[in-house]
């Protein structure tokens, strides 16, 4: 993998379960801040929730985002570097 012109030995952090062998169109919608603290919802063409991003609003822990699967299971925790 190459980032910013530098080669890295990055390991994938998301399971192959979330990869598709063909192109998929996803829609990203911003949730109102009053619903679970805001965030984003990612849906497929049949309006099925594929991913959610929590922590972008008032109720989230400052400097933290959580990427969840469609069932609400946590996949990835992103923290601001201090």
The pLDDT score that the predictor gives to residue 21 is 80
Question: Where on the phi/psi map is residue 16: left (φ > 0), alpha (ψ -120 to 50), or beta?
Answer: alpha
Q: Which of 33, 77, 78 is nearest to 59 (CA)?
A: 33
The pLDDT score that the predictor gives to residue 5 is 55
pTM: 0.63
**Span 69-73, mean pLDDT?**
88
CB atoms within 10 A of CB 81: 4
- For 31-67, the pLDDT digits (tens) are 776 655 678 899 998 999 998 888 765 555 567 888 8
CB atoms within 10 A of CB 65: 17
- For 3-28, the pLDDT digits (tens) are 455 555 656 566 677 677 888 889 99
Given a contact cutoff of 8 angstroms between Cβ atoms, the answer to whether 69 and 76 are in contact is no
Confidence of residue 2 (pLDDT cuts 50, 70, 90): very low
């Amino acid at each position: 993998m190459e980032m910013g012109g530098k080669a890295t030995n990055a390991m994938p952090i998301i399971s192959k379960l979330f990869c598709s062998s063909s192109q998929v169109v996803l829609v990203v919608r911003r949730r109102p801040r009053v619903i679970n603290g805001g965030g984003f919802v990612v849906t497929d063409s049949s309006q099925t929730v594929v991913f959610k991003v929590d922590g972008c609003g008032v109720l989230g822990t400052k400097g933290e985002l959580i990427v969840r699967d469609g069932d609400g299971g946590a996949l990835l925790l992103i923290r601001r570097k201090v």
